[in-house]
Chain A
Amino acid sequence: MLRQLRCLMVPLAMLGMLAAGSLFAEPVTIKYILWDANQLPAYQKVADNFMAKNPDIKVTIDQAGWNDYWTSLQTSMVGGTAPDVFTDHLAKVTDFASKGQLVDLAPYVKRDKIDTSIYLPGLADLWTKDGKRYGLPKDWDTIAVVVNKDIQKEAGVTDAELANLTWNPKDGGTFQKVLAQLTLDKNGNNGLSPNFDPKNVVRYGMEIQHSDDRGQSQFSCLALSTGWSYTDGTFKSNYHFDDPRFIQTISWMLNMTQKGFICPYEVTALSNSTLFPAKKAGSTLDGSWMIGYYANSVDFPVAFVQTPIGPVGRKSMTNGLADSIWVGSKHKEEAWKWVKYLASAEAETTVGTFGVVFPAVKAGVDNALAAYKAKNMNVTAFTDLATGKNTTFVYPVLDNGVKVSEIMVQAFDTIFLGKGEVAATLKAANAKVNALFK
């Protein structure tokens, strides 16, 4: 009997080795999603580099457009099929965290001694709450004025004028003058001429989309430059939409639409700009994530100009992205390895070379600038705002994001469609918003 058992030992041992071998050879697959299709080639390269360094981990990248991204992410979390790692946004992170869907990265960061000083100042702290950390910053964006160079030349606006735009809510400063100059009516009069006909405008000075509570590409640069701020601090929740400075800013914007220098509210109901690419508006406000769009999908050269200098200086809202790990991931250790690599200087500088976003590590910004320069785009307007003194402002990181947005969108609809008075509407909306946080 022993002899028979001994005969079995070798094949059994081989089976055992095969089993163990296959256990070790089985690569762990990490699912990663992002929304910006322009960044897909960059992150694919980062994933390839990561997989070369970690042959037992496979990273698959999937992309879903912004409109579907959050709803499909939430349904997949409910359905138990969410990706292991996903690109997170400051406006949404508290929502996910409060629902317990994110892995706390603080213990991992401590264990692996991650150095958070390689990032631009202030970015890393935004992703922490109550001592827990939900992401490591990977890129940032700012807002600038985008100008159609052909229209600028035709209207006779000089580069020097654009570089030194001033603004105040009372008379609009040189910003209003430039907008008027870029506006054209049916008879060829621009906005500065006494014969200008605001009822027959063929080209507007600026196209501005509908604002929500953030107003990132809408009112933010103007309102912030008056010294106003959304709340008393990044994590404080007492909103100030009833502040006189904010009311004055919105009133100025409404006045501009009535004068015909900014396009009417009804024309911009779509969430993307249509007048500017159609050459029916001379300028617009947009974020650095749209640089690729202006490089590839418009028919004319564009210039990026810093936001106007307001009563307290230039301001731009800045936002940052980070990668978060889903709490239901079955491979948290491997997911952490991927997140750690994504947040490393090496990965972020690689992303920088593709010239699509500005990486959060200081070293990556220069790479990005060089990459953009190679594509013939001068994007210093965005980076100067980011590295300037006191020029950037982060929207408060709070709960109830969706409800606040709903209330403010309704308020702006009322104001800009002429259905309600500016001060009264904003005061009422602000009261509703603050009531959410009681």
Chain B
Amino acid sequence: MTNARRASKLPFIIVTVALLFVTLFPIYWVLRMSFTLNKQIYSGAATLLPVQPTMSNYMRVLGLIDSVTAVKLGGSGQKINFFRFLFNSVLVSTIVTFAQVLFSAAGAYAFARLRFPGRNKLFGLYISALMVPSIVMMIPNFILMKDLGWLNTYMGIMAPALLMTPYAVFFLRQFFLGINRELEEAAYIDGAGKLKIFLKIIVPISSSSLATLAVITFIGQWNDYMWPLIVGKDEKVRLLTVALGVFRSQTPQGNPDWGGLMAGTTLAIIPTLILFIIFGKKIVNSINFSGFR
């Protein structure tokens, strides 16, 4: 590379480094605060490394300290059943991801390839549903869950997202529209029915975009706070995001338990981080792929 070339790359490098810094520094700060005692959250905030590194926040989050000591460290005296909540989150997110991707793909295929009367009008209705903010749906959904008797159950937490979201159907339909018709016609001639074509041809071809959707759905479901807060109050079905609410301020005008909150957040980020590391390349590729059509 000539020097001129290198020089012209310099502004891009600077901008990239700046963006990386802006994005990664808050995460580093969360990590640093998670190793700091509550006493020094404000007074020891001037240094890059924690003044008195401690594991007590992590122990508090994992429920390994008794209530009285926890209160002395500035935390809540509440017992935290961390692994139970982690299990709940993993269970709910996995089931919702699996079901949502499957049913959305089926719906998207129907909109892309099948012909039936009113297809385009129905699709228009789906798209207009994208414009309804989810918070508006919370009260009607809550009343529905209450009438179905699904409050404080896994079904109640999963139900609104289990079958599809308009975004998923739209995203996959775009992709399915671009698949070569010849493949399906060849399979049809060989005697495959619609279901077989869907399962054996369409799904394997679109694996990368399905994977992308799966990761997006998993992360969205993992981070969901408002709905599980309303519906899943009971300790048996509480999700991790709701459980971390115990670190928010407990008393009027009280301080949140910053150390515990940071430790809990770090632990909650890890599963999504692992997911990204495994599927990261596939997502980037699929964005490239469906970028131009």
A residues whose Cβ falls under 8 Å from a Cβ of B: 35-41, 44, 62-68, 72, 75-76, 78-81, 209, 217, 271-274, 277-279, 286-287, 289-290, 292-293, 296-300
**Is the CB–CB distance between A66 and B252 below 8 Å?**
yes
User: Could you tell me the distance in whole angstroms from the C-beta of B232 to the nearest C-beta in chain A?
Assistant: 11
Contacting pair B253 A65 (CB below 8 A): no
Contacts of A66 in B (CB 8 A): 249-252, 254
The interface residues of chain A lying within 8 Å CB-to-CB of B71 are 37-38, 40-41, 292, 296
Say whether B41 contacts A65, CB under 8 Å. no
Distance to closest chain A CB from B33 (angstroms): 14
Interface-centre pick from A79, A273, A279 (highest chain B CB count, 10 A): A79
Q: How far is the CA of A205 from the CA of B75 in the complex (A)?
A: 28
Q: Tell me if B77 is interfacial: C-beta within 8 Å of chain A.
A: yes
User: Separation in Å of the B77 CB from the closest CB of chain A?
Assistant: 4
B233 CB within 8 Å of chain A = yes
Shortest C-beta distance, B288 to chain A (Å), equals 42
A76 CA to B230 CA, complexed, in Å: 8
Q: How far apart are A146's CB and chain B's nearest CB, in angstroms?
A: 12
When the two chains form their complex, are residues A68 and B146 in contact, meaning their CB atoms are under 8 A apart?
Answer: no
Bound complex: CA of A3 vs CA of B76, how far in Å?
66
Q: Any chain A CB within 8 A of the CB of B113?
A: no
Give the residue of B39, B146, B254 whose beta carbon is less than 8 angstroms from that of A298.
Answer: B39
- Asked whether, in the complex, the Cβ of B78 is within 8 Å of the Cβ of A63, the reply is yes
Q: In the complex, are the beta carbons of A68 and B43 less than 8 A apart?
A: no
Contact A65 B248 (CB under 8 A): yes
Task: List 9 other contacts, CB 8 Å, given A66-B250, A277-B43.
Answer: A37-B77, A38-B76, A63-B250, A271-B249, A271-B253, A277-B255, A279-B43, A299-B40, A300-B43
- Binary contact track B70-95/A, C-beta < 8 Å → 1, others 0: 01111111100000000000000000
Residues of A within 8 A of B76 (CB): 37-38, 40, 63, 65
Q: Are B146 and A36 in contact (CB under 8 A)?
A: no
Across the interface, do A79 and B142 meet the contact criterion of CB distance under 8 Å?
Answer: yes
Which residues of chain A are near B221, meaning CB under 8 Å? none
CA distance A237 to B40 in the complex (A): 45
Supposing A37-B71, A277-B43 touch, asked if A68 and B248 sit within 8 A by C-beta, the answer is: yes
Q: What total of A-B pairs shows CB separation below 8 Å?
A: 124
Nearest 5 CB-CB pairings of A with B:
A37-B76, A40-B77, A278-B42, A297-B74, A277-B42
- Chain A residues near B249 (CB-CB < 8 A): 65-67, 271-272
Min CB distance B98 to A, Å, is: 28
B241 at the interface (CB under 8 A from A): no
A44 to B245, CA, bound (A): 21
- Is B233 a contact of A273 with CB atoms below 8 Å? no
DSSP class of A's interface residues: helix, strand, loop or mixed?
A: mixed
Instruction: Give 8 A-B contacts (CB < 8 Å), ordered by A residue.
Output: A37-B75, A67-B249, A271-B253, A278-B45, A289-B254, A290-B254, A296-B38, A297-B74
B151 within 8 A of A: yes
Give chain A residues whose Cβ lies under 8 Å from the Cβ of B246.
Answer: 37, 63, 65
The CA of A282 and the CA of B263, in the complex, are separated in Å by: 30
A residues near B151, Cβ cutoff 8 Å: 79-81
Is residue B223 within 8 Å, beta carbon to beta carbon, of the partner chain?
no
Chain A residues whose C-beta falls within 8 Å of the C-beta of B256 in the assembled complex:
272
Contact A40 B142 (CB under 8 A): no
What is the CB-to-nearest-CB distance from A267 to chain B, in angstroms, rounded to a whole number? 13
Interchain CB contact under 8 A, B42 and A293: no
B45 and chain A: residue at smallest CB distance: A278
Closest A residue to B152 by beta carbon equals: A81
Q: Are B41 and A277 in contact (CB under 8 A)?
A: yes
> From residue B46, how far is it (CB to closest CB) to chain A in Å?
10
CB distance from A297 to the nearest CB of B (A): 4
B window 187-219: CB within 8 A of A: none
A273 to B251, CA, bound (A): 12
User: What's the minimum C-beta distance from B5 to chain A, rounded to whole angstroms?
Assistant: 48
A300 neighbours in B (Cβ, 8 Å): 43
Assess the A293–B67 pair: CB atoms within 8 A. no
CA distance A66 to B254 in the complex (A): 9
Complex: A12 Cα to B76 Cα, angstroms: 52
Residue-wise interface mask of B (4-17) relative to A, using a CB-CB cutoff of 8 A (1 in contact, 0 not): 00000000000000
Bound form: Cα–Cα A35–B235 in Å: 16
Report chain A residues within 8 Å CB of B41.
277, 297
Q: Is the CB of A68 within 8 A of B229?
A: yes
A41 touches B248 (CB 8 A): no
A297 contact set on B, CB distance < 8 A: 38-39, 41, 74, 255
Residues on B with beta carbons closer than 8 Å to the beta carbon of A298: 39, 43
- Which residue of B42, B68, B253 contacts A217 across the interface (Cβ within 8 Å)? B253
Q: Which of B75, B78, B151, B252: most chain A CB closer than 10 A?
A: B252
In the assembly, what is the distance between CA of A65 and CA of B248, in Å?
A: 7
The smallest beta-carbon distance between B137 and chain A, in angstroms, is 15
Task: Tell me, rounded to whole Å, the shortest Cβ–Cβ distance linking B153 to chain A.
Answer: 11
Instruction: Provide the residues of chain A in CB contact with B235, threshold 8 Å.
Output: 62
B residues 9-41 in Cβ contact with A at 8 Å:
38-41
Closest A residue to B67 using CB positions: A41
**Distance between Cα atoms of A277 and B73 in the complex (Å):** 15
Task: Kindly list chain A residues whose C-beta atoms are within 8 Å of the C-beta of B44.
Answer: 299
Task: Decide: A40 near B38, CB < 8 A? Known: A80-B146, A81-B151, A279-B43.
Answer: no
Beta-carbon nearest neighbor of B247 in chain A: A65
Q: A41-B77, A279-B43, A299-B43 are in contact. Are A79 and B251 (CB under 8 A)?
A: no
Of A72, A272, A278, the residue contacting B253 (CB under 8 A) is A272
Bound CA–CA A279/B249 (angstroms)? 20
Q: How far is the CA of A292 from the CA of B68 in the complex (A)?
A: 12
The reply to whether B251 and A289 form a contact with Cβ atoms under 8 Å apart is yes
Residue of B nearest to A65 (CB): B250
Q: How far is the CA of A155 from the CA of B45 in the complex (A)?
A: 24
Known contacts A37-B77, A63-B78, A68-B248; A272 and B254 CB within 8 A of each other: yes
Write out the residue numbers on chain B whose beta carbons fall within 8 Å of the beta carbon of A79: 142, 146, 151
| Interface contact B146-A78, CB-CB below 8 Å | yes
Q: How far is the CB of B225 from chain A (nearest CB, A)?
A: 11
Complex contacts, B250 vs chain A, CB 8 Å: 35-38, 63, 65-66
Q: Which residues of A contact B152 (CB under 8 A)?
A: 81
> CA–CA, A12 to B249, complex, Å?
57
Q: Which residues of B contact A80 (CB under 8 A)?
A: 146, 151
